Amino acid sequence: MGMYTGLRFEAKLKPFVADAIDLVLSEEDSYSMWDALAGVIPIDRKWLNVDRKDFIPFGSMSYMPDDWYHRNDICRHDQKWFVCCSLKNYEGEIEDFLKLVLPFLIDEPCDAEILYEEWTESRIKRIEPKPLEQTGI
């Protein structure tokens, strides 16, 4: 069956990234958020090849505490992106996202909270922004 890992964060996005994500989220027929975004902003190829990539941010909450509830919204006036999801992190999908994707989307440092379903406490990882030019694409 497999165990679940939760991911939640609040991040201030780069202005054009917030616009792109908002546009992609408004398209109901979008097969993959990340594939669609790759047409607008550089997304690392390694991330685009991850089979379970769309569980971030769309994975429903499984085996997480009650104060973890699914969330995926963008607050347009301050470009904040709120994400709370869970997934079977079989191949380090969360770690790859935090290394290969999120640093290039954010405008300010943020803390990402990671909680494996059997842990008693979350782990916090500080994510520092990086310029899109460093994606190596």
CA distance 10 to 43: 20
- Can you list the positions of beta strands (E) in the chain? 5-12, 71-75, 80-87, 110-116, 123-127
pLDDT score, position 72? 83
pTM of the model: 0.90
- Kindly list the domain boundaries of the chain, sorted by start residue: 5-135
The confidence band for 97, taking pLDDT boundaries of 50, 70 and 90, is very high
Residue of higher predicted confidence among 105 and 32: 105
Q: Are 36 and 30 in contact (CB under 8 A)?
A: yes
